[in-house]
Amino acid sequence: MHVLFVCNGNVCRSVIAERLTRALAVEHALPNLTAESAGTRALVGFPVEPLAAQAIEGLGADASGFKARRLKNEMVDNADLVLTMTQQIRDQVSQLGFGVAARTFTLLEAHRIAHVTGARSIAELHRARNDLSIVGRENITDPVGLSEQAYCEVGDRIAEALVPLLLALAPHEQARLAADERTGLVIEPGAGSPPLASFLAAHRIR
């Protein structure tokens, strides 16, 4: 499952989500889970914002080697799932092509639907969205210009929504292949309790 994360500048929120997803894929042995990010008004070529990099590293992920990119139609076309940081960006992305809206959600929206309904596929998320009323404003605020604490809070909020969502939506094909080799599929955090595993345990994320 290839996930595209979208925010405005592509130097904070969407990068945190992208790099957290990559760390999650490694830690939970999900090689088919991949991620990239982009911005609707990206600061093209800029590295991740330093305080966002600290938040990424605090979550146990790697912030290095990043350059901001502007959102392009082909990125959306190549994504199985598009997760945006705000409803406004979600609506912008949804208009980029036929069928795009069915696989485009705000991160908080997708997490809520999966949590409430038990949805385990993108199609199930979309069907359930049509049955559920919107609950408040499901946006993650841009922390640019704010304090280090604000960046940490944004990072935690992204992680708290993203980790259980991605673990729920991990491709069924990969689970079945793993089950063929082992009796059942029980994925445990890696030995030594790395930072991401510690975060999950501390927040009781399953």
Q: What are the pLDDT digits (tens) for 110-141?
A: 999 999 999 999 999 999 987 775 566 789 99
Please indicate whether residue 152 is annotated as part of the active site. Answer: no
Please indicate whether residue 7 is annotated as part of the active site. Answer: yes
Distance in angstroms (rounded) separating the CA atoms of residues 117 and 85? 21
**pLDDT tens by residue, 173-182:** 365 446 556 6
7, 19, 69, 103: which one is catalytic?
7
How many domains are there within the chain?
Answer: 1
CATH number, domain containing residue 17 = 3.40.50.2300
pTM tops 0.75, yes or no: yes
12, 13, 90, 129: which one is catalytic?
13
Phi-psi group of 193: left, alpha or beta (phi > 0 → left; psi -120 to 50 → alpha; rest → beta): left
Domain that holds residue 195: 2-203
